[in-house]
Amino acid sequence: MTGMLELKSIDAGYGSFQALFDVSLDVRAGEAVGVIGPNGAGKTTLMRVISGLIRPIRGTIAMEGTDVVATPPHRIVSLGIAHVPENRRLFPRLTVADNLKMGAYMPGARAHYVERLEFVFELFPRLKERLQQMAGTMSGGEQQMCAIGRALMSNPKLLLLDEPSAGLAPVVVQQVFELVKRIRASGLTVLIVEQNVQQVLRVVDRAYLLEAGSIRAAGSAAELAASDTIKQAYLGV
């Protein structure tokens, strides 16, 4: 199985602040991979580097063999990468329909707009009922559904989910991880960054532990769930 996304020796940060140190990871087609770790470990920086919002200081990123670092940020979507940012970043005063439309702005996506919409409705039937509702008036779980739906409108190969459970009530967190399972079942490749270690290890195949900007451990979800380091630090066992 070849890597769909490959990061090698990434250093990254903002100005003089370095957030990532020598990070290497890969995601293979059809996998769900988690990046877990405490707040401030560099997880959001990692997502921003992959989606081109910030450029690494050093290291390489390839998406199906294409150099992501050399690709202009606005073209990265056309490589098949869609990013669902932390806190969802919906347009609260626009309807659900208009928010979904925003996800299909690339010319390639526009041509398949109707079929993508059908795909999103199949995954999330509730969005169909809410099409004319203002996105900002929906529940947290529905907004997360809308944010994921918007990302799926670009017909991505790889979906980046940044802290999908952040700020949501425990019962909604459960729903969001159900959504992740549903996305996986549709054949999409997912990279998910999450503080909710217990939940995320139930839906991913493998995971990396990121602490203080470095990868401290990596393995199958089962291996990490069983590791003493993770049990003590994150699973409260």
Number of domains in the chain: 1
pLDDT in tens, 29-80: 999 999 998 887 898 899 999 999 899 999 999 999 999 999 998 888 889 9
- Tell me the β-bridge partners of 27: 5
Q: Which two tokens stand for residue 27?
A: 């995601």
Within-domain flag for 236: yes
**HSE of 168 in the Cβ direction (CA atoms, 13 Å)?**
26
On whether the CB atoms of residues 193 and 163 are closer than 8 A, the answer is yes
What CATH number does the domain containing 13 carry?
A: 3.40.50.300
Residues 6+ apart with CB under 8 A from 144: 88, 164, 168, 172, 176, 179
Q: What percent of the chain is modeled with pLDDT above 70?
A: 95
The pLDDT > 90 percentage for the chain reads: 57
Query: Does residue 207 form part of some domain?
Result: yes
Quick check: is 231 in a domain? yes
pLDDT tens, position by position, 178-212: 888 888 888 899 999 998 888 899 999 999 999 99
pTM above 0.85, yes or no: yes
Establish if 156 belongs to a structural domain: no
**Bridge pairing between strands 17-28 and 3-14:** antiparallel
Domain contains 160: no
How far, in Å, CA of 89 to CA of 163, rounded? 12
What token pair was written down for 36?
Answer: 């877990």
CA dihedral 203, 54, 151, 114 (to 10 degrees): -150
DSSP 154: T
In contact, 219 and 34? CB cutoff 8 Å: no
SS3 content of the chain, % helix, strand, coil (to 5): 40, 30, 30
Domain of 201, in residue numbers: 1-79+191-237
Whether the predicted pLDDT of 214 surpasses 60:
yes
Higher pLDDT, 179 or 213: 213
Residue 142 inside a domain? The answer is no
CB-based contact 95:136 (threshold 8 Å): no
Evaluate whether residue 141 is within a structural domain: no
Residue 6 lies in a domain: yes
